[in-house]
Structure 1
Amino acid sequence: MDITQIRYFISVTETLNFRESARRLGVAQSSISRQIVDLEEKLGVALFTRSSRAVALTEEGRSFLPYARDMLRTADSAAFLMSQMSSGKGHLSIATVSTSAPVLIRCLDVFFKRYPDIAVDVILNNGREQLHAMREEKHDFHFAHAAMLPDDGRLDYLVTHADDLVVVVPKGHPLTKKPLPLDFAVLEKERFLVSYEAGYPLLYNHTLDVCRAHNYVPRNMSRFDKAESVLLAISAGLGFSILPSALPAQYFPNSVDIIPIADMDTHRTYIAAWPRRVTNPSAALFLEIVREVTGG
């Protein structure tokens, strides 16, 4: 199979009409039909059912579609990268977690002004995705919690910033007027909002450590797929959570309040990590900026 066949296949899945796909792609309808048939023959399955009135994906077609999209995305990214390199322009790939995004933005602000011709891809990962990305060295740079750093020594790093876990409540919540340290017993009637352990294992476990240290067992708990969704729910008055202080300041500073956890250490350190052997000239330039911005 070739990328043209993949591109035609995806177009037909979007229109379910060979004529409309041909019009969008600026090719003859017969060309699309022939390429789809060739693709089906190579795969050994029918991707579409066809009749005089309608075109529909088969079960095999639906199963193949996400892989086709991945192939097209990879091919387009590779083509873009090659065009950048052939024109003498650089390319940089960076992955970050939400709590490191503000530091990354400061670095990018300086970098874009200094090197406007270098293309940069930025990927926002949850905790689990970032752990995997760092183990696989998927990107030129990884901005993450320090505990995510693999212990095999393949990545170098510098500390970028730090924050603490805090209790996050809706704006104007009565608990903000209580004296510190906060008595967690008063939270028993509140709904506890957390991110799924699968997506944020470090944050989930750190949060449970805080709960155990205060003998707090949530009675009503709701789980969300993203930490940002937890903040959105808090801002709507649906409950409270325990989160890194960087998140509410970044996403909903005017819709939530934070309460320090004054009776235990909840300090969290963040890093920028990169492969020990920097072979990408653009990455070397970006590292200079990171050191400059963070003082690392």
Structure 2
Amino acid sequence: MNDRQMRYFIAVAEALSFSRAARQLNVSQPPLSMQIKALEEELGAALLVRTRRRVELTEAGRLFLDSARRAVRQMDEAAALVRQSAEGKAGVLRLGFTSSVPLSRVFARIMRSFRAAHPRVEVELLHMSTRDQLDALDDDRLDAGILRPANGAQPRPGVALHEVWRDRLAVFLPETHRLAGEAGPIAMADLRAEDFVMVSRPLGCGVHEQTVRLCAAAGFLPRVVQESRELTTVLGLVAAGLGVSLLPQCYASVGMAGVVARPIAAADAESRLMLAVRAPHASPVATRFVAVVDACLREEAESREAAGPGDSGVMAAARAAGRRSRAPAKEAAEVG
């Protein structure tokens, strides 16, 4: 029994005429009759009663018609799903992300737009550090990742990076700290005597390297008293008074009690979120995700431009970067 035989039988059963069914199928009548006969022989039962004037369904034929319709419909749906998967319109998108990604306002726009455009794609969200995402892309365990590498970092072979977002860095202080009440941005030189709580370097997050670079530019190296891979731990240690920490400004939205975020007076005190995909062999679904991200960022830039002078520095910086192609959800843990 094959797909053709079932489609031929359905056509004859609905038309109750071999000649009309043959015209609808655009085939000649003898091959149609042969396929129906072969189907009946395989099933061991007559499906149709043929007379000179008409064709009627047998009881077995009526029962088989319902099943044949369901089978053909399922085959058509399966074929359509395979075609959509090959085009990136269906399947699974394995998307890695660092803990800061959901805090960026453009993330909600991206996910909403992607789900609306591709409802048959299941998004599998995987919370991973920057380094773990790059390793997973190498091993084909991710289709795409949104991560925070060091500024100016060169992509690994076989991985393409596209800028998604720029964040200003802020200094996070205990609320009782002498600088917590400062009205303006804090100079890095004012942090020379401070103890620092930092993101663990092995995570591959660019914030660690950027902190060291900003301190060095101010003429000192940070005195690191504690490192952690967990965001809540970093902020909790700051709240406890163990030290200060440089993190993207978006972390202020976490609302950790006892912690104050203050801007930094340094032109290069910023960090970038990047979309990483395999190159040149990105999966079809990853390619569609990149396209959605690019469209969302264009819309975000246009809405910011329309807002005028009240624009915040984040998207102004993103616009200055040139609007290249760019691109959720366990508890916030690893910083990135």
Please tell me the TM-score bracket, short chain as reference: 0.5 to 0.7
- Aligned residue for 1:176, secondary structure, equals coil
Identity of aligned residues (%): 24
| Structure 1 residues not aligned, in runs of 5+ | 1-83
Equivalent pairs counted in the alignment come to 211
2:276 to 254, 273, 281: 273
Q: Give the distance between the partners of 2:120 and 2:201, measured in 1 at CA.
A: 40
Q: Which amino acid aligns with 2:264?
A: I
Task: Give the deviation of 1:261 after TM superposition.
Answer: 1.9
Q: Which amino acid aligns with 2:200?
A: Y
Q: Give the distance between the partners of 1:207 and 1:146, measured in 2 at CA.
A: 13
The 1:216–1:86 alpha-carbon spacing in structure 2 relative to 1, beyond 3 Å, is same
Task: Give the deviation of 1:225 after TM superposition.
Answer: 2.3
1:182 to 182, 186, 206: 186
The 1:186–1:158 alpha-carbon spacing in structure 2 relative to 1, beyond 3 Å, is closer
The residue aligned with 2:251 is 247
TM alignment of 1:56-67, pairs within 5 A: none
Q: Give the distance between the partners of 2:100 and 2:186, measured in 1 at CA.
A: 24
The 1:166–1:134 alpha-carbon spacing in structure 2 relative to 1, beyond 3 Å, is farther
2:233 is the alignment partner of 1:229? yes
Task: Give the deviation of 1:212 after TM superposition.
Answer: 2.2
Q: Which amino acid aligns with 1:98?
A: S
Q: Give the distance between the partners of 1:228 and 1:136, measured in 2 at CA.
A: 29
Q: Give the distance between the partners of 2:84 and 2:204, measured in 1 at CA.
A: 40
Q: Give the distance between the partners of 1:211 and 1:180, measured in 2 at CA.
A: 19
Deviations 1:169-207 (A, max 9, x none): 134644133365535565466542112222245322221
- Aligned residue for 1:106, secondary structure, equals helix
Moved over 6 A (4+): 84-88
- Aligned residue for 1:177, secondary structure, equals coil
The residue aligned with 1:62 is none
Q: Give the distance between the partners of 2:82 and 2:154, measured in 1 at CA.
A: 30
Q: Which amino acid aligns with 2:125?
A: V
* TM-score after normalising by structure 1: 0.58
The residue aligned with 1:122 is 125
Preserved CA contact (<8 Å) 1:192 1:240 = yes
The residue aligned with 1:4 is none
Larger Rg: 2
1:261 to 258, 261, 264: 264
The 1:173–1:224 alpha-carbon spacing in structure 2 relative to 1, beyond 3 Å, is same
The 1:144–1:211 alpha-carbon spacing in structure 2 relative to 1, beyond 3 Å, is same
The residue aligned with 2:164 is 160
| Structure 2 residues not aligned, in runs of 5+ | 1-80, 299-324, 326-336
The residue aligned with 2:92 is 91
